[in-house]
Amino acid sequence: MRAMRHALLASLALLASVSAQPAPYDVLLKNGRIVDGTGSPWFTGDVAIRGDAIAKIAPSITEPATRVIDVHGSVIAPGFIDIHTHARRGITQAPTAPNYARQGVTTVMEGPDGSSPLPLAPFLAQMETLKISINIGSFVGQGSVRSAVVGDTNRRATPAEIQKMTGLVEQGMKDGAFGISTGLFYVPGTFTPTEEVIELAKAAGRLGGIHESHQRDDAAKLLESVNETIAIGEKGGLPTQISHAKVVGVANWGRSADMLALVDAARARGVDVTIDQYPYTASSTSVAAALVPAWVLEGGREATLARLKEPGSREKAKGGIAMMIRDERGGGDPKNVQFASCGFDPSLAGKTLADLTRARGMAPTIRNAAEVVMWIVEQGGCQGIFHAMSERDLVRIMRHPATMVASDGEVPVFGRANPHPRSYGTFARVLGVYVRDKKVLTLEDAVRKMSAFPAARLGLSDRGVLRPGMKADIAVFDAAKVRDTATFAKPHQYAEGFSHVIVGGQVVFENGEMTAARPGHVLYGPARR
Ligand SMILES: [Zn+2]
């Protein structure tokens, strides 16, 4: 009995001494230039990972590790958090999301522009079972909510409908949304009075959410739209964000200064308003949304086609479309409109509206192009790319301290269609073109705009900064070599310069290839956390 007790004590002592020994780290990144996400200057050091978290950061870590990776002076940064994406376009076909992972993005947010899956819970459950390489979260979309309750018609909602919509927003938040998104530029968001948006925003805010907006108008009524986005935050009692901030149309170029002045004034009086942006002077959305007036699109496809058949309204529509080509998304010339994909004719991908106008036997004037736009709508529509912004506005917005980086991209199926290059290049482009080549931002500030800043915006307190205890979402890249290679003519090209991308402690990208690891998780918003 005594001997047995002795043996037990001895083995307990042995166990204690074993557990006192530090287990080896799982992954040790050696010799990095650590850019920790806070904006502080880089420092030389090693990063050790155990399980899914960062275990230690120090100038030199000598304890053993299962795997040691010498990064030879490359930057070690927090994995990038993309707060505005359309990742549900394509993620089920490409669950590794290589276009994002290969440029250091380890988390994407869905449900942008007022458009989200509804209800949200089944979508998030599907993402959890899909086994993806990066993390995903979502907003709940005001447009989707309004479409479900009011339809796509241009009318005020009744008090009962507002109550119903509020319930759907609350449900979205409880399902795990990070807040409410609006797309007041789009049908049906465009039919929503500001006061109604504010009521729904209050519901999201009560549950800890934020508001992000694809504004009502990024062209002639840009400043009114910025004031509206600010008012939604101010009166709704929640943080608010201008999504993919831009100034569309030659006539409006330069107004970014006024836009930022409004943001500064709002922040000075205590409104929590911020901005996100992609680093390109072309936008992308459907040809109909970009170039056809909302009244033509009201009520859905059948109603639209009926209007285009009636000669009087067709003529009026043509005038509206011509104006939008001349002064807004059309960039003043049909050659500034490029097709990303056309369901009715895949061969049009990459061609311009001027090309198609000529191919249909007409000179590529704005009036003729407007006729072709109506024809496109009748055929079923296209996704387009619209070259209608200026580099000076882009740079001015990028430099603003309240601006973060977000792609507004999707998960393209490699080689299919002609998507906007932002899906492949946004983060690498900021680091290559705007940090290294043009010196618009410092490296540290750019990384902050891609990691700690969006993490704080989303209330993700366990990632976005390199610090022991944080989730090990990490991007390793060579600051001298990082660059985007996707272009408007050849978008299906991955970013270069990244050597390792780690999600939850597991390497998802190395040696130029995605690995078999699928450690991505669904991230849940404040009401479900
Ligand atoms: Zn948008």
Per-residue confidence (pLDDT) for residue 7, from 0 to 100: 54
CA of 494 to the centre of ligand 1 (A): 23
Cα(244) to ligand 1 centroid in Å equals 7
Contact in structure between 25 and 64 (CB atoms under 8 Å): yes
What DSSP line would sit under 243-261, residue for residue? TT----SGGGTTTHHHHHH
Gap between the terminal Cα atoms of the chain: 51
Whole-angstrom Cα distance, residue 177 to residue 529? 10
Helix (H) or strand (E) holding 29: strand 25-34
Rounded-to-integer distance, Cα 63 and Cα 24, Å: 7
- What confidence score (pLDDT) does residue 8 get? 52
Closest to 276 in 3D by CA, of 502, 146, 81: 81
List C-alpha distances in Å: 388 to 250, 259, 350, 450, 526.
7, 17, 17, 25, 37
Measured in angstroms, how far is the CA atom of residue 134 from the centroid of ligand 1?
22
Q: Cα separation of 246 and 110, whole Å? A: 20
Which is nearest to 29 in space by CA: 455, 448, 472?
472
CA of 47 from ligand 1 middle (Å) equals: 37
Element (H, E) at 264: helix 256-268
CA gap 251, 221 in Å, rounded = 11
Q: Is 29 exposed, middle or buried (0-12, 13-18, 19+ CB in 10 A)?
A: buried
* AA identity, residue 434: Y
In angstroms, what is the span from residue 266 Cα to ligand 1's centroid? Answer: 22
Report CA(308)–ligand 1 centroid distance (Å): 26
Measured in angstroms, how far is the CA atom of residue 82 from the centroid of ligand 1?
13
pLDDT of residue 4: 53
Q: Report pLDDT for 240.
A: 98
**Close Cβ partners of 342 (under 8 Å, ≥ 6 residues apart):** 348, 349, 376, 379, 380, 381, 382, 383
Distance 147 CA to ligand 1 centre (A): 17
pLDDT in tens, the chain (529 residues): 455 555 555 555 445 444 556 679 999 999 999 999 999 999 999 999 999 999 999 999 999 999 999 999 999 999 999 999 999 999 999 999 999 999 999 999 999 999 999 999 999 999 999 999 999 999 999 999 999 999 999 999 999 999 999 999 999 999 999 999 999 999 999 999 999 999 999 999 999 999 999 999 999 999 999 999 999 999 999 999 999 999 999 999 999 999 999 999 999 999 999 999 999 999 999 999 999 999 999 999 999 999 999 999 999 999 999 999 999 999 999 999 999 999 999 999 999 999 999 999 999 999 999 999 999 999 999 999 999 999 999 999 999 999 999 999 999 999 999 999 999 999 999 999 999 999 999 999 999 999 999 999 999 999 999 999 999 999 999 999 999 999 999 999 999 999 999 999 999 999 999 999 999 999 999 999 8
Cα 373 to Cα 220, 289, 377, distances in angstroms = 21, 11, 6
Question: From the centroid of its chain, how far is CA 455?
Answer: 13
470 CA to middle of ligand 1, Å? 31
Q: How many whole angstroms from 214 Cα to the centroid of ligand 1?
A: 5
Query: What distance in angstroms lies between residue 112's CA and the mean position of ligand 1's atoms?
Result: 7
Tokens of 434: 């705007």
- Spacing, Cα 333 to ligand 1 middle (Å): 22
Rounded distance from Cα 422 to ligand 1 centre (Å): 13
Contact 505, 26 (CB under 8 A): yes
- What is the pLDDT at residue 21? 61
- CB neighbours (10 Å) of residue 458? 24
Q: How far is the CA of 495 from the centre of ligand 1 (A)?
A: 23
Nearest CA among 215, 274, 272, 209 for reference residue 248: 215
Distance 409 CA to ligand 1 centre (A): 9
Note the pLDDT of residue 3.
52
Residue 388: predicted pLDDT: 96
Query: Could you tell me the distance, in angstroms and rounded to a whole number, from the CA of residue 141 to the centre of ligand 1?
Result: 12
CA dist., res. 11 & res. 338, Å (int): 73
Predicted local distance difference test score (pLDDT) of residue 17: 47
Tell how far the Cα of 229 is from the centroid of ligand 1, in angstroms.
Answer: 14
Angle at 189 between CA 119 and CA 337, to 5 degrees: 110
Distance from residue 408's CA to the centre of ligand 1 (Å): 7
